[in-house]
Amino acid sequence: MSKALLYGLLLSILMVSAPHADHLPPWVSALCAALLAWRAYLAHSGGALPMRWLLLTITFASVGGILIEFRTLFGREVGVTLLILLTTLKFMELRGPRDAMVLVYLACFIIITNFFYSQSIPSALYMLATLLVTTTAWVHLHGQSIPLGGRLRIASVLLLQAIPLMLILFVLFPRVQGPLWGLPQDAFASTGLDDKMAPGSFARLSLSEEVAFRVGYAGQTPLREQMYWRGPVLWEFDGRTWTPGEAVAPAAPQFTDTTQPIDYSVTLEPHNKTWLFALDMPDRLSIPARLTHDFRILRKDPVKARLRYEARSHLGYRANPNEAKRQIQRALQLPPSFNPRTRQLAAGWRADSMDDNAVVRAALAHFSQQNFRYTLQPPPLGAHSVDEFLFETRQGFCEHYASSFVFLMRAAQIPARVVTGYQGGEFNALGNYYIVRQSDAHAWAEVWLPGQGWVRIDPTAAIAPGRIERGLSAAVTDAAALPFMARNPPDWMRKLRLNWDALANQWNQWVLGYDTERQFAFLTRLGMESVTWQKMALNMMAGVAFIVALFALFMLRHLFKRQPDKVQAAWLKLCRRLAKAGLPRAAHEGAQDYAARVAAARPDLADAIGEVAARYTALRYENRFDPASLQAFQRMVAAFKL
Amino acid sequence: MSQSLKNVIKQAEQIILGKPQQIRLALACLLARGHLLIEDMPGVGKTTLAQVLARSLNLQFQRIQFTSDLLPADILGVSVYQRDNEKFEFHPGPIFAQMILADEVNRATPKAQSALLEAMEEQQVTIEGTTRPLPAPFFVIATQNPLHQAGTFPLPESQLDRFLMRIQMGYPDAQAERGLLSGVDRRELIAGLGPQMESAELLALQQRVRQVFASPALLDYLQAILRHTREAARYTHGLSPRAGLALLSAARAWALLDEREAVIPEDVQAVLPGVVSHRLQAAGEYQKQNSDTLARELIEAVAIP
């Protein structure tokens, strides 16, 4: 086994295992790296491979270590760890082509396992590169004498030839819903909005540029300041933290006088929570879910895979105009003996006017006139957090404003609650959809007014209207604290990011999101009637057979078509030249006979014609055709001097 | 080509003077596992050729003189009742040899002729219900007198087809004839010949003939020849597919004798007269031509593609 082949295999194994390094136990990564380095050294120095007993000891010790580490030998993590470890150990006993073959297969298998952890475009591209390296090593195994460039070319051609097969398999391989085909449930980490709100929680979230969900509008697009994506609704306040609290006996939401329907589809990134996001106020949903009394949408199970749903919302609405007494009571609860100055302020407003609307206006006016600042880095607050915020620091992020506003309302005997979710989003003209990021997380308030029901009031809009109209970076006074891309990136960078996101969106929709439903829809659109998995499987096999036959025909075409017409052309050219010189070849005269006759007539040409005839005979009648000797023959004919 | 094969040719040329082409054709026929029909006057060296080949190649030699009263049993053998052990015992006939010289086949009755020809075709004989294989290699040289004599039975065309080649010895040229006349008696010379080859080597050579490469271009040429005989008006009927196969295997053997691993058109042309002259018949006005002219015209009529 040549060194070059060994290094190729080493590179391949190294490349396929590298992405696993950060989730393998560190000692396994270190052990594998050490073993590979050891093997590379042995290959370099030509030393003998380690003894069998040593390998067996390492194997049993490390499997024991894995058993201790994971306490099981089953499951994704353990499986991948074992696979990589044993593959590396296999390297230590790599002797013949058979072992090398096994390693190539193992490398291909490890490539698949990488997709358990990441299915993004960059990782797919990286896996393609590793596949190329692995295939090159494989080609090397079968053609030791092929130079590196040739091996790469063959491997690339092989991969290119695999593309039609890949497309057929991708489109037609029956997708079955169920755990067998799905990815492990823990494949996705979760970040995002929580159902608790304390000072600072939104400011932290606003630093994240991760995508929360993407939205495509079917018809009319609402104004940016109308895009309130409703998430958890928070009722209870303990003086510092807002929580949903215990829901009182669930009742159906009342939803009347709806206007301005908006249809859209949401592709939600997995967030490991049960709630879905929809525009205020949601009405209809394409997937099974529950609409709660306070207009949240809940699913039975946490969203652990990317989820796509269609929804309809109404921008104009009257929500629960006849709210139950118990709900009103809930929306007036305040923790006793906190924030006395705030209570006093609210009581003063209430004394001035019995009109709820006037109180709301007074509160908003208070925010806009008392020199409040909208900032990502508000000073820390003590026990009376609302008092301190309203009267001393006057610096806060959306959660401060929402929290203190609801507190003020409740203190003034107006039912109110905090609503969290996302506001706004970035439009991607390339894919014609909106990207809503974690940095778009927002908190606002709802007050219940008699006859009008729950009405959305966003106190942040009173202090920093730019936040609602243009986004976070336009509104905060200390934008420097935001991550670079959220601030004001150069135009080309923003465009690049949008392009990339559009691509990722297509990838999500069509590659990763190609599930049973999409498959059926796509095949129906292609004209397949009554799609069944049997039919898909049959079509798939037929398609694969067709492609393979096509390639086989292409590769075996020399069996059907003969190559050496160039040989004959060069020979006939020479014969014509000799004919002009008075030595025509009879049609039935073979090359050897003709050469002998020419040699007899022109002894000066004897050597040359003998050589040409011999070469011609070899090319045309012997089983030794190759382009190099054809070129030599053509040169010989061209150089023939009469 | 093996040294022993060269020695065989050299030895034969020392005895049969001035006939190198016939010697090579006979050898090619043998290497291609075919049988040879020599048609010529008496006394031009037909028997000598067979004897020389048998001796040089170390083959068991049997001569069967065909006469009008020859019976199949005289060729194949017969079972005779043995009184001692009260059983019939088979006495093999002269056909159970590696090289058979069937002299003047056209003097025997068709029944006797077909006994020989069937054995040639099938490499085995069936006598009284028992099939007995013939030795390998198995090679028949039959001679035929071209003179139209009374009481002869010329081989029909279908039987002629069993022979791979038909050649003529022809008169020796003056120089060769002088050598013949002034030299030692041929029979003494033949008696002094030593074997140059074992039969295992001959079998291996026969195997190698089959592996000589025939390129698509060469097959094109071969097919052009066959097509021409079928389309041209000067033949009563064209060459059969079996004739095409015979032509190819003879050309392969010729290529091997020429120390080549691939057949070239010249090989085909060299063996063509021998292979097709007894298979083609001129029609109408061309009937008067002798078979050599017919073959030469065939070669000249077909261009090498």
Through-space distance between the first and last CA atoms of chain A, rounded to whole angstroms: 53
A588–B303 C-beta distance less than 8 A = yes
| pLDDT score for B120 | 87
In the three-class reduction of DSSP (H, G, I as helix; E, B as strand; rest coil), residue A353 is classed as coil
| pLDDT score for A179 | 43
Task: Show which of residues 622-641 on chain A sit within 8 Å of chain B, judged by CB atoms.
Answer: 622-623
> What's the ipTM?
0.84
Task: State both tokens at A150.
Answer: 């040739």
Residue A148 has a CB neighbour count (10 Å cut-off) of 11
Note the helical H segments in A507-555: 516-525, 533-555
Task: State both tokens at B203.
Answer: 């079998």
Between CA A354 and CA A414 the distance in angstroms is 10
Between CA A131 and CA A107 the distance in angstroms is 8
Q: Which residue of A has its CA nearest to B268?
A: A590
Q: Using 50, 70 and 90 to split pLDDT, how confident is the model at A126?
A: very high
Between CA A179 and CA B221 the distance in angstroms is 66
| pLDDT score for A560 | 65
Beta-carbon contacts of residue B259 (< 8 Å; ≥ 6 apart): B1
Note the helical H segments in chain B: 3-15, 20-31, 46-56, 72-76, 110-122, 157-160, 174-182, 186-191, 199-211, 216-231, 241-257, 265-276, 291-301
Residue A563 touches chain B, beta carbons under 8 Å: no
pLDDT digits (tens, 9 = 90+) for B155-191: 887 788 889 999 888 888 888 888 888 877 777 888 8
Rounded average pLDDT over A557-565: 64
Q: What is the pTM of this model?
A: 0.52
Give one DSSP letter per residue of A597-616, joined into a string.
HHHHH-GGGHHHHHHHHHHH
B262–A622 C-beta distance less than 8 A = yes
The more confident residue out of A312 and A306 is: A312
For residue A445, the surrounding DSSP H or E stretch is strand A441-449
A134 pLDDT higher than 90: yes
DSSP, res B262 = B
From chain A, the residues in CB contact with B216 under 8 A are 562
Share above pLDDT 70 across residues of chain A, in percent, rounded to a whole number? 93
pLDDT digits (tens, 9 = 90+) for A487-529: 667 788 888 888 888 888 888 877 877 877 778 888 888 887 7
Q: Which residues of chain B have pLDDT under 50?
A: none
| pLDDT score for A181 | 43
pLDDT digits (tens, 9 = 90+) for A191-228: 678 888 888 788 778 777 888 899 999 888 888 888 99
pLDDT digits (tens, 9 = 90+) for B85-114: 888 888 888 989 999 998 888 888 888 888
Q: Which of A562, A588, A618 sits opposite B304 (nearest CB)?
A: A588
B213–A564 C-beta distance less than 8 A = no
Residue B246 touches chain A, beta carbons under 8 Å: no
A589–B217 C-beta distance less than 8 A = no
Which of A560, A572, A588, A592 to mutate to test binding with chain B, by most B CBs within 10 Å of its CB?
A588
B284 to B103, B155, B157, B233, B295: CA distances (angstroms): 32, 22, 18, 9, 16
From chain B, the residues in CB contact with A617 under 8 A are 262, 264
A130 pLDDT higher than 90: yes
pLDDT digits (tens, 9 = 90+) for A155-186: 999 999 999 999 999 888 887 654 444 454 44
Give one DSSP letter per residue of A461-475, joined into a string.
HHH-HHHHHT-HHHH
Q: Which of A564, A587, A623 sits opposite B304 (nearest CB)?
A: A587
What is the Cα gyration radius of chain A? 37
